Amino acid sequence: MRDADFELPSTEHLALSLDGWVLTVTLNRPKARNAMSFAMVEELVAVFDAIQDSAQIRAVVLRGAGGHFCAGGDVKDMAKVRMLPAPDELGGPDDAMATSNRKFGTMLSIIEAAPQAVIAVVEGAAMGGGFGLACVADVTLIRADAKLRLPETSLGIVPAQIAPFIVRRIGLTQARRLAVTGGRLDGDQAKVLGIAHESYADAEALEAGLAATLADIRRCAPGAVALTKDLVLSALSENLEVLLDRAARDFAIQIRSPEGLEGTMAFVEKREPEWARSDA
């Protein structure tokens, strides 16, 4: 990740808080249980685009305001689009419903591929798009009493942009079960399936778990994190031999980089590397 000046965008539906190297992005529509409007989706994309090349921001924490993570897509937004005149080709390039829906997938892809470590902190409702956000974070921490649901099929619609990410997260067989049952889970069940990594009994334990996770991330070099995330995600689709060749090149470059030199010297000298210091 290269050094770059950046400016966080102005947001109406997200609350942004930058504390040193950690950016907290709070979905901020509490009266709607943080349902994702099209405007919120665009704001999330804008935030992650803005920090793409930032060397300062090493971790992004995603959470929701008012005790809920995200109640899914905004039904009112979808209804407005559905009221538009139907195009000649349903689902085609001129269909506003298809193009609007596709934006959710773009957002999830961008968040999943972010060079920073992304942590989802899930409380209360996590439905539909909120379920998807939980599945694209590098680390998902959840309250045991959270309510995850994949409600689309029970509403007669399709979790179109979410489904592929669920398969990538927990595998085909579990994703199929969630698809045909409407996917009702609590935090402990989400951990068992692998959607969440840790489940906590109360808010205090959840915040302690977040602090511990950030402390672990601090110990990892940001450039190495970005390269490793890219390699891990590429393993899902790239030819193995091609990927191993690229990994070897990445290793050779990274071990000679300032991070690689500092990390190996710190190990030999039995000290913390520069990026892990409290004042870094």
Q: What is the pLDDT of residues 92-131, one digit of tens each?
A: 888 888 889 999 999 999 999 999 999 999 999 999 999 9
Phi, then psi, of 148 in degrees rounded to 5? -95, 140
User: Residues 20-74: pLDDT tens digits?
Assistant: 999 999 999 999 999 999 999 999 999 999 999 998 999 999 999 999 999 998 8
**Quick one: pLDDT at residue 2?**
47
Token pair for residue 174?
């579990």
**Quick one: pLDDT at residue 61?**
98
Number of C-alpha atoms within 13 angstroms, CB side, residue 204? Answer: 0
**Quick one: pLDDT at residue 105?**
95
pLDDT-based confidence at 149, cuts 50/70/90? very high
For residues 167-171, give the mean pLDDT.
96
Residue ranges of domains in the chain, CATH in brackets: 14-218 (3.90.226.10), 222-276 (1.10.12.10)
List all residues 6 or more positions away from 64 whose beta carbon is below 8 Å from its beta carbon: 26, 27, 30, 33, 34, 70, 123, 124, 130
CA distances from 61 to 23, 27, 163, 207, 258 (A): 6, 11, 23, 12, 27
Residue 6 has pLDDT above 50, yes or no: yes
Question: Percent of the chain having pLDDT more than 70?
Answer: 97
Residue 83 has pLDDT above 90, yes or no: no
For residues 179-208, give the mean pLDDT.
96
Mean pLDDT over each residue of the chain, to the nearest integer:
93
**Quick one: pLDDT at residue 280?**
56
For residues 233-239, give the mean pLDDT.
93
**Quick one: pLDDT at residue 5?**
62
For residues 214-229, give the mean pLDDT.
96
**Quick one: pLDDT at residue 7?**
87
Residue 240 has pLDDT above 60, yes or no: yes
Phi, then psi, of 155 in degrees rounded to 5? -100, 5
Rounded to an integer, what is the distance from CA 278 to the centroid of its chain?
Answer: 25
Q: What is the 3-state secondary structure (H, E, C) of the chain?
A: CCCCCCCCCCCCCEEEEEECCEEEEEECCHHHCCCECHHHHHHHHHHHHHCCCCCCCCEEEEEECCCCCECCECHHHHHHHHCCCCCCCCCCCCCHHHHHHHHHHHHHHHHHHCCCEEEEEECCEEECHHHHHHHHCCEEEEECCCEEECCHHHHCCCCCCCHHHHHHHHCHHHHHHHHHHCCEEEHHHHHHHCCCCEEECCHHHHHHHHHHHHHHHHCCCHHHHHHHHHHHHHCCCCCHHHHHHHHHHHHHHHHCCHHHHHHHHHHHCCCCCHHHCCCC
List all residues 6 or more positions away from 171 whose beta carbon is below 8 Å from its beta carbon: none
